[in-house]
């Protein structure tokens, strides 16, 4: 072992030297007194193997220490995290930088979701920036779970969401063409955050939200302007 890199609620990450291969590796060890941490580290090893680099660190090996504590040996990622980059900025990220980084992040998310997983703890500290290749990737998959299981736990059959992915109409029937679609979605109880409504809003990030409460007050069109704003907008603009 060389030094401790980070310590979290479920485990500790160390930088180490592989004496056989001569390179640097990362070793993650679950906290011995936390059975849930053991399960999460074992899950993380499975997910990292299923997704694979360059989106996630490569897994070298995993196993149990003599006292029965799980460990995971993986590729050491020396690139900066998104949190570190944001900490260097005195204001909003310049647009010339934001565009490529946003595309890289979306490509990485597409890779994770394409393998059938949700990260479960996506935040700037868990995003690494491959400056050499213009890519992004993710750490810390201890809370990850299969996409369809997560949706099923919301109380709906997974086929509802599988069909939802095919709702957008593309002119040539492929996923590469521009999306041109107009949806009218009636939401029970005016709850726009229930899973079906939220899934539909996630297909296209442009919405005109009509509110029953506004209509009952006699104002037409009953457009809720604040709820019609893109959910990504607050993260793209300076509050000033």
What is the full per-residue pLDDT of the chain (240 aa) written as tens digits? 889 898 887 889 999 998 887 789 999 999 988 888 888 898 899 999 999 999 999 999 999 999 999 999 999 999 999 999 999 999 889 999 999 999 999 999 989 988 888 888 889 999 999 988 999 999 999 888 877 655 555 555 555 555 555 555 554 555 555 555 555 666 665 566 666 666 666 555 556 777 878 888 888 888 887 777 665 566 566 666
Per-residue pLDDT, 61: 93
CB 57 within 8 A of CB 48: yes
Minimal CA–CA distance to 40: which of 116, 115, 119, 109? 119
Which pTM value belongs to this model?
0.62
What confidence score (pLDDT) does residue 225 get?
76
| CA atoms within 13 Å, Cβ hemisphere of 85 | 19
Phi, psi at residue 78, to the nearest 5°? -95, -10
Name residues whose C-beta falls within 8 Å of residue 52's C-beta, 6 or more positions apart in sequence. Answer: 58
Give the residue among 215, 214, 210 at the shortest CA–CA distance from 227. Answer: 210
- Residue 97, pLDDT score: 93
Buried residues in 166-197 as b, exposed as e (16+ CB within 10 A): eeeeeeeeeeeeeeeeeeeeebeebebeeebb
């Amino acid at each position: 072992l060389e030094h401790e890199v980070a310590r979290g609620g479920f485990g500790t990450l160390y930088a180490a030297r592989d004496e056989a291969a001569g390179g640097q590796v990362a070793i993650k060890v679950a906290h011995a007194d936390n059975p849930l941490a053991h399960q999460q580290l074992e899950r993380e090893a499975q997910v990292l193997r299923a997704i694979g680099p360059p989106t996630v660190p490569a897994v070298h090996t995993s196993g149990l220490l003599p006292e029965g504590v799980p460990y995971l040996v993986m590729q050491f990622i020396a690139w900066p995290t998104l949190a570190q980059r944001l900490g260097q900025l005195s204001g909003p990220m310049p647009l010339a930088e934001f565009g490529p980084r946003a595309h890289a992040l979306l490509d990485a998310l597409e890779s994770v979701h394409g393998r059938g997983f949700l990260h479960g703890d996506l935040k700037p500290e868990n995003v690494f920036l491959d400056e050499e290749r213009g890519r992004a990737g993710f750490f810390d998959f201890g809370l990850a779970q299969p996409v369809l299981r997560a949706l099923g736990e919301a109380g709906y059959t997974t086929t509802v969401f599988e069909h939802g992915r095919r709702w957008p109409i593309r002119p040539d029937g492929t996923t590469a063409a521009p999306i041109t679609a107009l949806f009218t979605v009636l939401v029970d109880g005016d709850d726009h955050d229930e899973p079906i409504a939220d899934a539909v809003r996630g297909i296209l990030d442009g919405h005109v939200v009509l509110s029953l409460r506004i209509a009952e007050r006699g104002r037409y069109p009953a457009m809720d302007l604040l709820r019609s704003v893109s959910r990504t907008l607050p993260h793209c603009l300076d509050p000033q």
